[in-house]
Chains A and B, each alone.
Chain A
């Protein structure tokens, strides 16, 4: 997690992806799984909250 670039030049002149998960795709996957869990939790609670 963090910058995939070692220098300012690499970052400022980035041609491709420059987000902070470029170097750690596993974290992107974990966040995606968490996002799905949040969505399912929301759906479940929408039946039980009211």
Chain B
């Protein structure tokens, strides 16, 4: 009996490690549902002539961002938290002996983030960095997928891949290093709080998409004499199911915003504050519900905007999800989702063809979600010596994230691609459809043959 108890105690460190490892592994894999959802969502929104090309473009976001995130994205996350305000940019050039205090602590994570690091290879010395890498890589893919939907039916695949790399493996990662990192200077200097990545993921990617859309221009026929013309989804059922899969994936995304390490005595946020899965269960479910109602009422029961309201609701409260009372979540999520269709209408008025509403759903509500903790969760001091969560800090991080790391690079890189003729497909390709022109196949060959026979 005593021997068994001793053996059990000996297994305890392994079980503690395995619990954390398995938590991130399982929730990380289930986060892939976001990508299944984006695939279906975008495919359904596209016209039938662009169905396969749209899905393929979205699918290839996974490898192009996954591999470049391995090459340099994970390093960027660990290298940038202090730079350029509270410490140096870390890299192979850094002399660890010269580092002291916080810089020395932060540098410990950098050595495990290079593509040649032992921590990312098979080793018994580190069983957690690999699962963290996977979760971060999936965050990165999500970020790029947000751009993907906005630009469908006229962007060149290569041009999109370059934009996806810039956004998914660099821009949002810098925002995450500064604003979603224990050592990030937005938090240590400004008291920044963004539990569920409202700005860091959604604000950055939504506003990056806006920058790209300005240079990309609308689809042929979307605006006639400046007046918007409807281009309807070819399969709204697929779109609705896709968005529901995204909802499920986001439950896991937000579960992966929780930090849970083997020696912890409780769950924490990335900033070190307390959080519980029960809080997430309550608040995410209510945000989704209130968001759907907000989208429904605001859009007068438009199916596409109603279901997009669910996502807008979650994103509106994502920043302070860990600290908001459930009743507050309902009010805020409803408000954010109610505003979203108004922003969609405004985009139309401005002549911007954002096919899936990425800018209103992710960009605008992401920015709102980043600012709200400065009002509704002000005053929390996340670590000794740091300023409390405050409105000015939230405004500052939101501006840097959504505008300087989102809109500006999106605009500039797409402008460069446009100048090089790498951004948009030819009008001939666009008119005839990308499936046949780019891929040489049709998703609906029977219809193609029937049309040809009629002609």
Interface of A with B (CB < 8 Å)? 1-3, 5, 7-9, 11-12, 14, 18-21, 27-28, 31-32, 34-35, 38-39, 41-42, 45, 49-50
Contact = CB atoms under 8 A, between A and B. Distances in A.
Contact of A38 (B290, B377, B381): B290
Residue of A18, A20, A39, A41 most packed against chain B (CB within 10 A) = A20
Given A18-B274, A38-B334, A2 B328 contact: no
Given A5-B380, A7-B384, A45-B297, A28 B325 contact: yes
Interface in B299-323: 300-301, 320, 323
Interface size class on chain B is 20 to 34
Contacts of B379: 2-3, 5, 20
20 contacts: A3-B378, A3-B381, A8-B381, A11-B273, A11-B380, A14-B274, A18-B274, A19-B323, A20-B323, A20-B377, A20-B378, A20-B380, A27-B328, A31-B325, A31-B327, A31-B328, A31-B330, A34-B327, A42-B297, A49-B297
A49 B300 contact: yes
Given A1-B376, A14-B274, A8 B386 contact: yes
A47 to B, nearest CB: 11
Nearest to A23: B379
A50 B290 CA distance: 20
A29 B256 CA distance: 31
A35 B324 CA distance: 14
A5 B384 CA distance: 12
B320 to A, nearest CB: 7
Main secondary structure of the interface of B (DSSP, over half): loop
Contacts, number: 89
A19 B325 contact: yes
B378 A35 contact: no
B272 A20 contact: no
Contacts of A19: 323-325
Closest 4 CB pairs of A and B: A3-B379, A31-B327, A2-B379, A3-B380
Contact of A42 (B296, B331, B385): B296
Nearest to B375: A1
B327 A38 contact: no
A26 to B, nearest CB: 12
Contacts of B149: none
A4 to B, nearest CB: 8
Nearest to B299: A49
Contact of A12 (B273, B320, B375): B273
Residue of B320, B330, B384 most packed against chain A (CB within 10 A) = B330
Contacts of B384: 7-9
Contact of B323 (A12, A18, A28, A35): A18
B293 interface: yes
Given A2-B377, A11-B273, A39-B293, A21 B328 contact: yes
B330 A7 contact: no
Given A38-B290, A38-B334, A42-B297, A11 B381 contact: yes
A37 B419 CA distance: 53
Nearest to A14: B274
A8 B191 CA distance: 12
Given A11-B273, A31-B325, A3 B297 contact: no
